[in-house]
């Protein structure tokens, strides 16, 4: 439901301005030869010229597009909002440079939004090891420059699904009453999950969120459950931890049931659980 509501708002947001920004951990310049190679690899016929180093102008399928390299941070991102994914917030604060791919004019009968497929594919092709974040300026959404995000952008352009392939890490107040009540409910009702787990459909994921610690801070991490009992849960780490150096995405771990903070499972065709998820994401 949360994703459906999010998509509802995304589809109705104004997209009169279309651009993609790549936040970088070090300056780099997209040369004319590199851009030509990228467009050729995407089977995009283009005429190009370089106004100056790092300032490329392209005509692609009637769209006027620029690819610009900037050796400084993107000025409007120096103070990210408090509720953004912590990994994105770190990148927004610490990035050193950025690339911008903008569309300025569209051919007759089309709009700037019609260039979103082209923009997304170009941006994905320009991602390298220095790329921290991909920012879809037209929709306002950001995502880490992960292989999953890049793959979707290469295939589908600026498809909103590209920005839903990672689980956000957000800061929460551990003393929040609603959050504490949601965690208590998840632990108290854990026997419902254990009872339903053996009867789950093969194609229906079962998730449990557990609280892990690095000795200083705590993180709540989703597991794709492989086995469970009244006193334990075993599963595959389903999202990349923010600050747990000994735990990686796709690791298999076993955790006491007392450390469970949320869970989700389908029972009789209905989604049950998501107690903490509703508090965090409304």
pLDDT digits (tens, 9 = 90+) for 198-236: 988 877 878 999 988 877 777 888 899 999 999 999 999
Q: What are 17-34's pLDDT values in tens digits?
A: 789 999 999 999 999 999
Per-residue pLDDT band for 193 (boundaries 50, 70, 90) equals very high
Please give the pLDDT value at position 82: 44
Q: How far apart are CA 61 and CA 58, in angstroms?
A: 10
In the predicted model, what is the mean pLDDT of residues 80-97? 72
> What stretch of H or E contains 238?
none
In the predicted model, what is the mean pLDDT of residues 186-196? 95
Asked if pLDDT for residue 85 goes beyond 70, the answer is: no
* 3-state secondary structure at position 87: helix
Please give the pLDDT value at position 172: 62
Please give the pLDDT value at position 11: 38
Asked if pLDDT for residue 269 goes beyond 90, the answer is: no
Q: What are 240-262's pLDDT values in tens digits?
A: 777 788 888 889 999 999 999 99
Q: Rounded to the nearest 5 degrees, what angle is found at the Cα of 25, between the Cα atoms of 23 and 29?
A: 75
Q: What are 43-76's pLDDT values in tens digits?
A: 998 899 888 888 999 999 999 999 999 999 886 5
Rg of the chain, C-alpha, whole Å: 22
* 3-state secondary structure at position 143: strand
Q: What are 113-170's pLDDT values in tens digits?
A: 888 899 999 999 999 999 999 988 877 778 888 888 899 899 888 866 777 655 556 5
Ramachandran assignment for 124, one of left (phi > 0), alpha (psi -120 to 50 degrees), beta (any other):
alpha
């Amino acid at each position: 439901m949360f994703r459906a509501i999010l998509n509802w708002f995304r589809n109705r947001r104004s997209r009169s301005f279309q651009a993609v920004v790549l936040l970088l951990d070090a300056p780099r310049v997209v040369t004319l030869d590199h851009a030509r190679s990228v467009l050729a690899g995407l089977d995009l016929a283009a005429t190009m010229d370089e106004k100056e180093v790092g300032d490329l102008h392209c005509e692609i399928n009637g769209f006027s597009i620029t690819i610009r390299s900037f050796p400084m941070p993107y000025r409007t991102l120096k103070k990210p909002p408090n509720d953004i994914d912590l990994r994105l917030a770190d990148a927004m604060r610490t990035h050193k440079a950025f690339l911008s791919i903008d569309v300025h004019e569209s051919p007759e009968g089309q709009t700037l939004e019609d260039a979103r497929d082209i923009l997304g594919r170009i941006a994905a092709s320009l991602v390298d090891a220095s790329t921290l974040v991909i920012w879809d300026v037209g929709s306002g959404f950001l995502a880490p420059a992960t292989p999953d995000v890049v793959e979707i952008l290469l295939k589908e352009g600026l498809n909103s699904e590209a920005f839903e392939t990672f689980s956000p890490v957000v800061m929460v107040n551990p003393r929040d009453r609603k959050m504490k009540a949601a965690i208590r409910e998840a632990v108290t009702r854990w026997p419902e999950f254990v009872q339903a787990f053996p009867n789950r459909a093969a194609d229906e994921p079962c998730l449990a969120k557990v609280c892990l610690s690095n000795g200083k801070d705590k993180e709540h991490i989703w597991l794709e459950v492989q086995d469970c009992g009244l006193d334990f849960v075993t599963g595959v780490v389903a999202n990349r931890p923010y600050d747990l150096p000994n735990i990686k995405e796709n690791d298999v771990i076993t955790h006491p049931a007392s450390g469970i903070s949320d869970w989700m499972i389908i029972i009789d065709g209905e989604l049950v659980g998501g107690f903490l998820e509703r508090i965090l994401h409304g």
